[in-house]
Amino acid sequence: MNGIARTLAAGLVAALLSTTAFAQDIAVRGQQVWTMGPQGVIENGVVVIEDGTITAVGPAASTAIPTGMQVLEAPVVTPGLVDAHSTVGLTGYLNQPDDQDQLDTTAPVQPHLRAIDAYNPHDRLVEWVRELGITTLHTGHGPGALVSGQTMVVKTVGNTVDAALVEDGTMVVANLGTWALDRESSPGTRAKQMAMLRQALVSARSGDEVDVGEDEDGDDDEVEGARDLVSEAFRSVVRKERPLLITAHRSQDIQSALRLAEEFDFDLVLDGAADAHMMLDEIREAGVPVILHPTMARNEGELENAAFTTAAVLAEAGIPFALQSGYEAYVPKTRVVLWEAGFAAGNGLAREDALASITIDAARIIGMEDRVGSLEVGKYGDVAMFEGDPFEYTTHVTGVVIDGEVVSDARR
């Protein structure tokens, strides 16, 4: 390389580094800054982000903004929103067979399927929810199998799944009720569902290999002398290395999930829980958090007792909960937690509790409260900006920042 080429290359590298550093050193000012942390709501506040991390939060009058730092402004500023349970990135927006990776039906028990191996960071739905303020997803396999796989936590940015990844193997996902029944095969009844889960946990606790049953080809997929990934996944649950997330809507299935957690002393996260308002004392006594079904989920089938007011009922009962987008079988394949929380706020849930259900409370349930969910020094620089009350139907998202970088400036 000659001298001119070296000079040009050095200049290009310096420019790229300068641009990256500038993009990650910004301040966001808001007429109201909802920190969702100890500072509460700050009138005329500012959030300072350097190298992708929040370094200062406080009133604009007393919080210094470094000279030359890019400053963004919005009427309302909140933490980046957290979707506590989603299938985004696995369920593609085209709704075609080649972009639907949220469920494998070849065997009823597959806890070794990892969301990281199916996640598509370039799917349009990832961009869509990002533009609406969602910066963190707890995503993975959907309902339809007794044990469908492992979840992960990602940011809604990144050219690759590794670039988006915050944590792999966050939870193992199980499902109870009619969604996970196979009347012509196994499990064909709720009793068989519980027996299969119980046997898997017993085997994991004793160190034996877990029998996952035959796949659709009649093979049990066991290889003598090989690592048993299924057993490893269940052992991580009984050792409390990761929670077992159990989707259970009907009261009888919620009871079964609570009974199983008590029997095997694992960390349970109750998911869906349409009948939670019928089980308040039992859920509270068990100390189990709930990732509640989307507020506007259609109340039919397993969700026939779902109600717009359940979030408010859980809050009143003192049960920790978060809202989710869940799984949708139709296009556009996902709900948006911002709207779900807004509808809950319109049906009895206090606005601060509604925002908590898609920020700090969601982060706490998925084990990410030290990184996301509130605007506090040391956390990721994830910010959502609004032109007014986030839960008003006519309010738009005006900007989104992830790790200190502006990833959307569209008015959505």
- Whether residue 121 contacts residue 161, with contact meaning beta carbons closer than 8 Å, is answered with yes
Q: Using a CB cutoff of 8 Å and minimum separation of 24, what contacts does 185-191 make?
A: 185/108, 186/108, 186/213, 187/108, 187/146, 190/252, 190/253, 190/256
In the predicted structure, residue 108 carries a pLDDT above the cut 60 = yes
Instruction: Name the pLDDT band for 354 (thresholds 50, 70, 90).
Output: very high
Strands (E) located in 3-117: 26-34, 41-50, 53-59, 70-79, 81-86
- Whether residue 78 contacts residue 95, with contact meaning beta carbons closer than 8 Å, is answered with no
Amino acid at position 27, single letter: A
Give pLDDT tens digits for 53-94. Answer: 999 999 999 999 999 999 999 999 999 999 999 999 999 999
Least confident of 180-189, 265-274, 394-403: 180-189
Residue 375: predicted pLDDT: 99
Give pLDDT tens digits for 12-62. Answer: 333 333 333 344 799 999 999 999 999 999 999 999 999 999 999 999 999
Per-chain mean pLDDT for the chain: 92
Q: Of 289, 240, 230, 251, nearest to 85 (Cα)?
A: 289
Give pLDDT tens digits for 138-195. Answer: 999 999 999 999 999 999 999 999 999 999 999 999 999 998 999 888 999 999 999 9
- Residue ranges of the domains in the chain? 19-80+374-412, 81-372
CB crowding 36-70: b at 16 or more within 10 Å, else e? bbebeebeebbbbbbebbbbbbbebeebebeeeee
Least confident of 7-11, 171-175, 367-371: 7-11
Angle at which helices 190-206 and 229-238 cross, to 10°: 90
Rounded percentage of the chain residues whose pLDDT exceeds 90: 87
Q: What is the mean pLDDT of residues 126-133?
A: 98
Q: What is the mean pLDDT of residues 111-137?
A: 98
In the predicted structure, residue 106 carries a pLDDT above the cut 90 = yes
Q: Of 303, 339, 298, nearest to 83 (Cα)?
A: 339
- Whether residue 382 contacts residue 80, with contact meaning beta carbons closer than 8 Å, is answered with yes
What CATH class does 81-372 carry? alpha beta
Residues 310 and 143: their CA atoms lie apart, in Å, by 21
Tokens matching residue 196: 């299969």
In the predicted structure, residue 215 carries a pLDDT above the cut 70 = no
In the predicted structure, residue 6 carries a pLDDT above the cut 70 = no
- Whether residue 138 contacts residue 85, with contact meaning beta carbons closer than 8 Å, is answered with yes
Residues 102 and 179: their CA atoms lie apart, in Å, by 14
Residue 22: predicted pLDDT: 42
Bridge-based pairing of strands 41-50 and 290-292 is unpaired
Instruction: Name the pLDDT band for 330 (thresholds 50, 70, 90).
Output: confident
Residues 6 or more apart whose CB falls under 8 angstroms from that of 371 comprise 166, 363, 379, 380
- Give the CA count within 13 Å in the CB-facing half-sphere of 275: 18
Q: Which fold has domain 19-80+374-412?
A: Urease, subunit C; domain 1 (2.30.40)
Residue 84: predicted pLDDT: 98
Residue 207: predicted pLDDT: 85
In the predicted structure, residue 117 carries a pLDDT above the cut 70 = yes
Residue 213: predicted pLDDT: 64
3-state DSSP assignment of residue 174:
strand
Q: Is 296 exposed, middle or buried (0-12, 13-18, 19+ CB in 10 A)?
A: middle
Residue 210: predicted pLDDT: 77
